[in-house]
């Protein structure tokens, strides 16, 4: 029986889209993810030759399940980092990539990872949560997105933060409107 811990990491993928992070297990990419003020997007490589109708995908308030129809095992069955608005969330298959769009219940909330991972032998993994420095970078990106949204005539692309970025959900007078 193998008792080696499973290496689970979240990191910026070399050559990937800017702003995407990778969750891998034992050196194998499981999915990529990114977020905006309103949503978290998952990108999963689909098996070749499969159509959208071949998949069984369930986006629940606090869980995502992905598998092939007729198969007794799911590829992913994990809790989400935070609450998802299921009525607005969706998925589609495009060029052998499953794209899952999870709409955040709390607009502007900073997710430290897309999914929390699964429990194994009574211990839960970190599910690919980002490190402290990456979390701060994500917060800064979301704050800049909020600045841009609230001040459409200004360009904040080159803006820098002096110190820690504020919480994008609550700074400047309170929670964001949905």
pLDDT in tens, 90-141: 999 998 999 999 999 999 999 999 998 754 444 445 556 888 888 888 888 8
User: What pTM value is reported for the model?
Assistant: 0.80
**Which domains does the chain show, CATH number per domain?**
8-129 (2.60.40.790)
- Using only C-alpha atoms, the chain has a radius of gyration, in whole angstroms, of 17
| Angstrom distance (rounded) from CA 146 to CA 38 | 10
Cα four-point dihedral sign 36, 40, 41, 44: positive
- pLDDT tens per residue, range 58-90: 999 999 999 999 999 999 999 999 999 999 999
């Amino acid at each position: 029986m193998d008792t080696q811990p499973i290496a689970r990491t979240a990191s910026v993928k070399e050559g990937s889209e800017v702003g995407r992070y990778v969750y891998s297990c034992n050196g194998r990419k499981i999915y990529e993810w990114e977020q905006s003020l309103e949503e978290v997007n998952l990108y999963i490589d689909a098996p070749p030759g499969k159509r959208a109708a071949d998949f069984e995908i369930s986006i629940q308030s606090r869980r995502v399940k992905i598998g092939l129809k007729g198969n007794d095992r799911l590829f992913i069955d994990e809790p989400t980092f935070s609450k998802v608005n299921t009525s607005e969330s969706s998925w589609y298959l495009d060029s052998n990539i499953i794209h899952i769009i999870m709409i955040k219940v709390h607009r502007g909330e900073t997710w430290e990872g897309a999914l929390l991972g699964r429990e194994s032998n009574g211990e839960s993994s970190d599910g690919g949560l980002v490190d402290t420095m990456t979390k701060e970078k994500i917060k800064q990106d979301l704050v800049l997105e909020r600045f841009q949204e609230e001040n459409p005539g200004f360009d904040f692309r080159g803006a820098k933060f002096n110190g820690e970025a504020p919480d994008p959900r609550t700074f400047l007078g309170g929670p964001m409107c949905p």
